[in-house]
């Protein structure tokens, strides 16, 4: 699956990183530059946010998309962002290089079929209570509309354990690698819910066969509007990437080259 | 919450029964007459069916709605049927006396807000992996649009137990009765997944404080297109109702009178 | 299964009630008199307590057993108390009319076989993470030693839900009634972990087919050394029993007569 | 924790491998030589087997211990084997270099205290339904008796997922590494229940910070008396170890030297 020039699911590992929510231009650009410098290939950021409560912050919506577009222009990183409804597709679709279907929407057949028809690459998160077989059947809803560009994402399931927000299910990653040709990336931020566990579980996700990672990174997690407890700082991401590369090499995976700055490309072309 | 003249959540118990899916007119009418004769107040039946696989039977759709409308005309029972997307509302809404939001859609905020704006009474099933607090927050999505007519429905959660399809959570019923003024009905068909357990769990649901039941009934469960294993026969429903009435009386609840046949009403008016 | 003259699993319902832990003679006797007056047939009380932490209160042990014996003498109620190891059997066995195997010990084969050989009636609690099939196999460990007097006890399982301590699984009660001839009692105190949910779930347990209840009752729950949050007051038990009797009658079960005071029996014999 | 000269929880990784159950001398010796040749440091094998059903194969018991002793003599590998009850300690203890407490016995306080007093190193498996906090409290039962030699073992928990036997919880491994100084090893054989997932999850376990692995290996898994579906062949183990070493190096861990053959040691001493 090619996303803004980055092949997901090939021999190389891919890192998608960025803030849970786009909060403002300064926060998003700082995060985008930092994750690019750390070695990330794609920028994640939520403009339309699904929330359990209708009274929680639900994202900057269109303004958030515009900020993501400017971050892509500045850094060269393709954009991964969530779409919540078929009606939002005409707005979200043109900005998203990879359209995220969130965990709560894994069973939303009309949304799956709409992104299937839209044709853009899709990141399909596993429902937090869904079996791995249901996860693949949800992917079928997209594939059956003629869109083969589906990336699966394991993000933790609900169990009785309360020390962590979810239980990251790396069995599911290895299982999916054996039962489908679709790429599988892993989200240890939601999978653990705790900043101090994100790094070891990121390494484990690569060792288990994950094709890449989806990580929440925030310039100042303590002030984050959502998911601050599970966001890495930019410095933590920078420290983590060399270990990811080493574990990747140990299991035969290399690191895809970080996209060039568009400015450099333009300057080179001008010369 | 008043549904086709039947008050849900008042002092009286309410029984919603019928087939999982509308398969054809004959099956639906047989079921409708039988459940009415057994003491049911509302007819359930799926025309638009949510399925894990895109290749499963997904319902008769508009034709199914027309059959449900004829069944209502023939029996006087109000219709409970599921709506899957906001776009289907103009089609499903006029037929449904009570609009069902299925377990897989409990987190579908745009659908919840759409039925909230539509104003028709809503049956909100608990997500199979959702906490009781999330269930109430999902109801808030409907209420916040100005639609106060929400009926909660417990239908079982996923656990490690494999002897039953789900684990019916009657703790949740008692908890919801104490934490909200909204009516709570219980679906032991999905909550157990086994015909032989539906009757005892129906009795238990009433004893735990449930305001009513949602039961799958099929004239010939062995030939059912879906959920045959958990559907009662018409005869089993007929045997069950007297016990439900007795347990209801034991906890201070009476049985709402079964709606009159429209034909009788018309004849009486003609005289 | 006959326990101190009380038949468990016959046509009549049986109520086992008392404090989580025997704390002192005054508390235990107050509780015993109160639960007898409310309609209970057997007295529960822990002398040897299993605890997750080695540093928690682990019971009065032998002193607790002596108090239970005095409570039986005073009230005529048979004693239900837990045995933790085969070595404790010579001490606990002579005092216990019904030997409780706790949830944490459901898989403890050597303990199960020891109580199987001992021959006294056994109350086998379901493991909080055990399937219903494993629960029956654990009973087989007792039965295979030639002791047929096993009473099963459902006490809730662990799930993702955090609003309640456990999820009481009444599916399991109905399932066990259909798959075994052994009596099944229900413990809604552990099954909910919340005093305000114990009464509705007790009613539901009887409606689901339970042969009786195991309830934690404490004269002053706020001062309880353990499980105060889930203990009924004596007054709450007194209010609950008439409802239990009514629901029992609704499902064809009567209430076993409360044992006579030994003092009355002695006086009558003396006359 | 030193086990037969092998330090568990130090900078080096440790591999414990062998059959689920000791079936006969030939099978055990073949497995022992093969796992030693592949790079394992300790031999696992069950002589006393815990089983859900009293009618399943429960191990060769004393005969099995004797076979394990001969395997140790032949290969130089220390022995890891399970003890089920305090009464078996005088028999199992002298043979076991590392005494295994199984998942079903994690809450068995009298057994934990008995091995605590016995003083031999203990491998404490997490209960399949136990939280990580309860797991550490179970370790406290051993530690509080003055035995500091406890190795924790994550072996998967029960969830709603049915594609795998258990859900291996690597969150728990990273969490335990941060909340205790005790070594943590991982059992992906039980954690997945499927041979084809054991290798990727073994790599992931090391990347997550595990100090070693506990793997089921059988010369002919299809004829295994128990757990054949999750046992690696000797060839699969041989293929896996180089990858484990590479991932270990990537996270800063080296591979402890495999113990010398006692025969070589004796010959060298004789020269």
- What pLDDT, in 10s, does the model give residues A107-159? 999 999 999 999 999 999 999 999 999 999 999 999 999 999 999 999 999 99
Place of tokens 């056994």: C122
Quote the distance between the C-alpha of residue C87 and its chain's center: 22
Give yes or no for residue C187 having a pLDDT over 90: yes
Q: Is the CB of A207 inside 8 Å of chain D's CB atoms?
A: yes
What is the b/e burial string over C8-40, where b = at least 16 CB atoms within 10 angstroms of the residue's CB?
bbeebbbbbbbbbbbbebebbbbbbbbbbebbb
Residue D99 in tokens: 């005494």
Of D135, D187, D235, nearest to D20 (Cα)? D187
CA distance B194 to A66: 52
Length, in residues, of chain A: 271
Contact (CB, 8 A) for D42 and D83:
no
**Rounded CA separation D127/D172 (Å):** 12
The predicted model scores a pTM of 0.96
Residues A79/A72, Cβ–Cβ less than 8 Å: yes
Contact D157 A161 (CB under 8 A): yes
pLDDT tens track of chain B, all 271 residues?
899 999 999 999 999 999 999 999 999 999 999 999 999 999 999 999 999 999 999 999 999 999 999 999 999 999 999 999 999 999 999 999 999 999 999 999 999 999 999 999 999 999 999 999 999 999 999 999 999 999 999 999 999 999 999 999 999 999 999 999 999 999 999 999 999 999 999 999 999 999 999 999 999 999 898 888 999 999 999 999 999 999 999 999 999 999 999 988 889 898 8
Measured between alpha carbons, how far is D231 from D34 in angstroms, rounded to an integer? 14
Confidence category of residue C95, pLDDT binned at 50, 70, 90: very high
Q: What are the chain A neighbours of B155 within 8 Å (beta carbons)?
A: none
Chain D residues close to A175, C-beta within 8 Å: 163-164, 197
In the block, which residue shows the tokens 């009476």?
B254
CB pairs under 8 A between A and B: 66
Confidence at residue B77, expressed as pLDDT on a 0 to 100 scale: 97
- Give the residue-averaged pLDDT of C43-68: 95
Q: Which chain B positions have a beta carbon within 8 Å of C165's beta carbon?
A: none
Report the alpha-carbon distance of residue D48 to residue A217 in Å, rounded. 49
Which string of DSSP letters, residue by residue, matches C112-175?
HHHHHHH-S-EEEEPPTT--HHHHHHHHHHHHTTT---EEEEE--B--S--SSSSB--HHHHHH
A244-261 pLDDT per residue, tens: 999 999 999 999 999 989
Pair B177, B146: CB distance under 8 Å: no
What HEC string does chain A produce? CEECCEECCCCEEEEEEECCECCCHHHHHHHHHHHHHHCCCEEECECCCCCCCCCCCCCCCHHHHHHHHHHHHHHCCEEEEECCCHHHHHHHCCCCCEEEECHHHCCCHHHHHHHHHHCCCEEEECCCCCCHHHHHHHHHHHHCCCCCCEEEEECCECCCCCCCCCECCHHHHHHHHHHCCCCEEECHHHHHCCHHHHHHHHHHHHHCCCCEEEEEECCCHHHCCCCHHHCECHHHHHHHHHHHHHHHHHCCCEECCCCCCHHHHHHHHHC
Residues in chain D with CB shorter than 8 Å from the CB of A255 are none
Q: Which DSSP category does D104 fall into?
A: G
Stretch C112-129: mean pLDDT: 98
D227, D214 Cβ separation under 8 angstroms: no
Between CA C106 and CA C87 the distance in angstroms is 17
Give the pLDDT score at D99.
98
Question: Which pair of structure tokens corresponds to residue C183?
Answer: 């009596």
Q: Is C169 on the interface with B (CB under 8 A)?
A: yes
Q: How far is A177 from chain B (nearest CA, A)?
A: 20
Pick among B103, B128, B159, B160 to test the D interface (most D CBs inside 10 A): B160
Alpha carbons C85 and C172: distance in angstroms, whole number:
27
Q: What gap in Å lies between CA C75 and CA D248, rounded to an integer?
A: 66
Task: Name which of D54, D85, D48, D90 is nearest D67 in CA terms.
Answer: D48
Residue of C131, C159, C204 lying closest to B208 (CB–CB): C204
C120 token code pair? 């006294």
Contact criterion met (CB < 8 Å) for C203 and B207: yes
Confidence of residue D159 (pLDDT cuts 50, 70, 90): very high
Number of inter-chain CB pairs under 8 A, C vs D = 66
Query: In chain D, whose CA is at the least distance from the CA of A164?
Result: D171
A246 in reach of chain C (CB within 8 A): no
Taking contacts as CB-CB distances below 8 angstroms, the residues of chain D near A205 are: 204
Beta bridge partners of B153: B125, B185
Residue D140: DSSP 8-state: H
Write the CA distances from D197 to C84, D15, D127, D232, integer angstroms: 38, 17, 21, 10
Residues of A in contact with C52 (CB under 8 A): none
pLDDT value of residue A227 = 86
Measured from the Cβ of residue D268, the count of other Cβ atoms closer than 10 Å reads 9
Contact list in A for residue C160 (CB cut-off 8 A) is 129, 158-160
3-class secondary structure for D11-65? CEEEEEEECCECCCHHHHHHHHHHHHHHCCCEEECECCCCCCCCCCCCCCCHHHH
Return the pLDDT at A226. 86
Interface predicted TM-score (ipTM) of this complex, two decimals: 0.96
Task: Select the residue of D171, D197, D249 nearest A201 (Cβ to Cβ).
Answer: D171
Answer whether B251 touches C (CB < 8 Å): yes
pLDDT of D265 higher than 90: no
pLDDT for the residue numbered B271 = 86
pLDDT at residue B265, as a whole number: 87
DSSP string, B34-102: HHHHHT-SEEE-BSS---SSTTS----THHHHHHHHHHHHHH--EEEEE--SGGGHHHHTTT-SEEEE-
Q: How many CB pairs under 8 A join A and C?
A: 8
Cα–Cα distance for residue pair D167/A169, rounded to 1 Å: 7
* Euclidean distance between CA atoms D28 and D47, whole angstroms: 11
Q: d(Cα C173, Cα C167) in Å, to the nearest integer?
A: 13
Q: Which residues pair with D7 in a beta bridge?
A: D2
Per CB-CB distance under 8 Å, the chain D contacts of C129 are 127-130, 158
CA D51, CA C110: separation in Å to the nearest integer? 11
pLDDT tens string C208-226: 999 999 999 999 999 898 8
Give the closest of C159, C191, C200 to B159, CB-based. Answer: C159
Rounded to the nearest integer, the mean pLDDT of chain A is 96
Task: Decide if B263 touches A, using CB distance below 8 A.
Answer: no
Coil/strand/helix, residue D240: helix
Residue C265 has pLDDT above 90, yes or no: no
d(CA C131, CA B229): 21
The encoded tokens of residue D230 equal 């999750």
User: Given CB atoms, is B158 within the 8 Å cutoff of chain D?
Assistant: yes
Instruction: Encode A83-94: b = buried (16+ Cβ within 10 Å), e = exposed.
Output: bbbbebbeebee
**Alpha-carbon span D41 to D28, nearest angstrom:** 15
Residues 6+ apart with CB under 8 A from D24: D60, D67
Any idea which residue has 């030639």 for tokens? Answer: C146
User: How far does Cα A17 stand from its chain's mean position?
Assistant: 7
Residues of B (61-90) whose Cβ lies below 8 Å from A: 84-87
Judge contact between B148 and B156, C-beta under 8 A: no
Nearest CA in chain A to B105: A108
| Minimum Cα–Cα distance from D244: chain A residue | A250
The total of other beta-carbon atoms located within 10 Å of residue D227's CB is 18
- The stretches of chain D forming alpha helices (DSSP H) are 25-38, 62-75, 89-92, 109-118, 132-143, 170-179, 188-192, 195-207, 234-250, 262-270
> Dihedral of CA C83/C86/C88/C89: which sign?
positive
Which structure tokens are listed for B92?
């499903």
Strand-pair partners of C7: C2
Please determine, for residue C227, whether its predicted confidence score (pLDDT) is greater than 90. no
Which residues contact residue C135 at a Cβ distance below 8 angstroms, ignoring those fewer than 6 apart?
Answer: C106, C124, C126, C127, C152, C172, C176
SS3 B18: strand
Q: Does B160 touch chain D (CB under 8 A)?
A: yes
**Which residues in chain A have their CB less than 8 angstroms from residue D161's CB?**
131-132, 157, 169, 171-172
Q: Looking at CA atoms only, how far is residue C167 from chain A in angstroms?
A: 11
Show residues of chain B in contact with D129, CB under 8 Å: 160
Using CA atoms, how far apart are residues D29 and D31, in angstroms rounded to an integer? Answer: 5
- Ramachandran area for residue A227 (φ above 0: left; ψ -120 to 50: alpha; else beta): left
Task: Locate C39 and state its tokens.
Answer: 């309609």
Instruction: Of C166, C129, C175, C167, give the one whose Cα is nearest residue C152.
Output: C175
For residue D52, which residues of chain B lie inside 8 Å, CB to CB? Answer: none
pLDDT tens per residue, range D195-235 = 999 999 999 999 999 999 999 999 999 989 888 899 999 99
Q: Inspect the interface and report whether the beta carbons of B200 and C192 lie closer than 8 Å.
A: no
Mutation target vs C (from A156, A160, A163; most C CBs, 10 A cutoff): A160
Cα distances (Å, whole numbers) of residue C78 to C97, C147, C156: 6, 19, 25
Residue carrying the six token digits 């007929």: B238
Measured between CB atoms, does B164 come within 8 Å of chain C? yes
Mean pLDDT of chain B: 96
């Amino acid at each position: 699956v090619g996303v803004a020039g980055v092949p997901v699911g090939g021999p190389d590992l891919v890192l998608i990183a960025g803030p849970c929510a786009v909060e403002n231009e300064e926060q998003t650009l700082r995060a985008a530059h930092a994750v690019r410098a750390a070695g990330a290939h794609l920028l994640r950021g939520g403009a339309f946010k699904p929330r359990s409560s209708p009274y929680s912050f639900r994202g900057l919506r269109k303004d958030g998309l515009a900020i993501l577009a400017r971050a892509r222009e500045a850094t060269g990183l393709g954009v991964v962002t969530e779409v919540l409804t078929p009606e939002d597709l005409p707005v979200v679709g043109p900005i998203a290089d990879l359209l995220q279907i969130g965990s709560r929407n894994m069973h939303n057949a009309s949304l799956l079929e709409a992104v299937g028809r839209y044709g853009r690459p899709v990141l399909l998160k596993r429902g937090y209570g869904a079996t791995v077989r249901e996860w693949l059947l949800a992917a079928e809803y997209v594939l059956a509309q003629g869109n083969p560009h589906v990336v699966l994402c394991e993000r933790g399931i609900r169990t009785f354990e309360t020390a962590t927000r979810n239980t990251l299910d790396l069995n599911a990653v290895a299982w999916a690698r054996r039962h489908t040709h679709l790429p599988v990336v892993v989200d240890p931020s939601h999978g653990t819910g705790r900043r101090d566990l994100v790094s070891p579980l990121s390494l484990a996700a690569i060792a288990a066969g994950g094709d890449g990672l989806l990580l929440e990174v925030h310039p100042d997690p303590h002030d984050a509007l959502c998911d601050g407890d599970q966001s890495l700082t930019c410095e933590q991401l920078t420290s983590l990437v060399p270990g990811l590369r080493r574990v990747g090499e140990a299991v035969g995976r290399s690191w895809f080259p970080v996209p060039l700055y568009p400015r450099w490309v333009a300057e080179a072309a001008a010369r």
